[in-house]
Amino acid sequence: MPSRGCGRARRTCRARSAAPRATGPSRSAWRRRHDAVPPVAALGHPAGDRVSRHGLLYVLGAALQGLALLVATPFATRALGTGEYGRVAVALAVAQTLVSVLAAGFPQLVLRDWERGAEGRVDARVTVGLMVVGGIGIGVLGTVAVVVLWSAGVVADPVPALAVALGSGALTCIAACQAVLRADRRPLGFIVLATSSTLGAVLVGIGATWVAPTAGAYLSGYTAVLVLLGGASLVVSRPAWPWRERERTRRGLPPALALLPHGLAMVVLLSSDTILAGTFQGADGAGTYQPAIMLGNTVFTVATALFNAWGPAVYRQPAAVRWRWMGASAVLIAVVLAGGAVCLSVTTPWLVPLFVGPGFDHTTIETLVRVVVWMGVPYALYLGCSLVLIERGRTGTLATITVTTAVGFAGAGALAAAVVGLEGLAVVKVVAHTTLFAVTWVVASRLAPVPLRGWPGAVVAVVALVSIGTALSTGPQAGLGVLLAALPVLAVTALAQLRRVRRAGPADGSVTPAG
């Protein structure tokens, strides 16, 4: 005799069979609407495992990448020496400058459009297509110009210039692919591409120095890796070419063009200091400054890695709490980054001798690291505030802020490098990024509530001032005991701010697609 449970199961199956099924376009539309942007959980909430997991993956990837670079870079500095390594540093800085014109700001547009479902993703791929076309254009035009100048006898060694042209074009294509991977929440692919384009290129460059210990050999190997990865990025990102999506291109071109001066300004802020060091302090000055920047940018790299998970999470918050949650989580990230800056400052006397050879000025590099390491904290806060302007379509205002700040940094940085030296240039860089954050925050606060005030931010500011002040006044190894004492204070501050983040998010921890 069949059981009562089996009868219920049969009735359920018959009811499901009799129910009308969604077919045709309506079913496809339903799937696009529900599957295009799945909800994620909120950071700082018990249900916030996905954002936290992705953020941890990005940070671990950045940590492994940075650790590998720390291990590999001493081989490059020892193989090339201060002068040749200075030529490499200037060439890579110029290439990064060209890349940032098309890369800075565009990924945020891709992220914003990606969260609008299937149609928004097509718009995002159009933006990716604009980035790729710009990158290929830079590479082709730059290569032609270098060949013409070399043929005319104007350029004696074309390899560094070719590395700048081809490397910047390839890096732009790589940045476009990374924007898609980040928006599509594929952190592992993002990390693999980022590591290959940095550590992989460095290792091949070091290998090329075994053939000839020159800047040209290093840059040849480095650039070859970037070009190969740039071609692979086109296959992964699947850009929508502007000439095939003319209507969407006309619609998306104005905000994209407004970000071009923003990108150029960000390049000046992030990369021009190495060029200024080489201009006013010579190749040896650039060779001293670049290792300090690479080591001091560790916190900046962690801030960027956190933003890869944090930025999408902000846009997926409900509109009622989005910017309140962004402000609270931004302060928490700033406190965590401050702890990282303290740890790096304390270990600098041991890291620098491992990072560079005995022919480098260790004392100057240690002092520069103690200063530059604090640049990542205001930069993370700036990234959060910039999301407000991009979401509200104020890309022109964002460009005005960054261009004004960059012009001030270029002038003040040149004066500091010429009169004070490398230490003055490093201080100006930190001040410029702090100014960029402060102005962006003021403008963003007029468009949406962005709560960044409070005692946790004051704790971070005091610790930063103590670290920078002691390093500049009494030497790079001064004040380390005070910084160690600041670590438990920052830990308590982070726990207190985490409670604020939990209160700022939605009550049930759910997050809905933006737009």
| pLDDT surpasses 70 at 25 | no
Query: Can you give the pLDDT at residue 30?
Result: 33
Residue position matching structure tokens 């200063």: 371
Confidence of residue 372 (pLDDT cuts 50, 70, 90): very high
- Model confidence pLDDT, tens digit, residues 179-212: 888 778 787 888 888 878 877 888 888 888 888 8
Q: Residue 7, class by beta-carbon neighbours within 10 Å (0-12 exposed, 13-18 middle, 19+ buried)?
A: exposed
Phi-psi region of 460 (alpha: psi -120 to 50; beta: other; left: phi over 0): alpha
- Interval 39-52 mean pLDDT: 44
Copy the structure tokens of residue 51.
Answer: 């954002």
| pLDDT band at residue 104 using 50, 70 and 90 as cut-offs | low
Give the DSSP per-residue string, 140-188. Answer: HHHHHHHHHHHHTTS-S-HHHHHHHHHHHHHHHHHHHHHHHHHHTT-HH
Q: How confident is the model at residue 342 (pLDDT cuts 50, 70, 90)?
A: very high
Average pLDDT rounded to a whole number, residues 251-256: 74
CB count in 10 Å sphere of residue 144: 11
Q: Which residue has the higher pLDDT, 424 or 167?
A: 424
Question: Which is more confidently placed, 473 or 385?
Answer: 385
Structure confidence at residue 513 (pLDDT): 42
Rounded mean pLDDT, 370-390: 92
Angstrom distances, CA of residue 450 to CA of 389, 453, 458: 12, 9, 16
- Residues 511 and 509: their CA atoms lie apart, in Å, by 7
Q: Is 275 helix (H, G, I), strand (E, B) or coil?
A: helix
Mean pLDDT within 216-225: 85
* pLDDT tier, 507 (very low <50, low <70, confident <90, very high otherwise): low
Amino acid at 242: P
- Residue 26 confidence (pLDDT) above 60: no
Q: What percent of the chain has pLDDT over 90?
A: 19
Which residue type is seen at 145? A
> pLDDT tens-digit profile of 53-65?
655 666 666 666 5
d(CA 501, CA 331): 9
More reliable by pLDDT, 87 or 485: 485
Return phi, psi of residue 510, to 5°: -80, 150
What pLDDT band is residue 216 in, cutting at 50, 70 and 90? confident
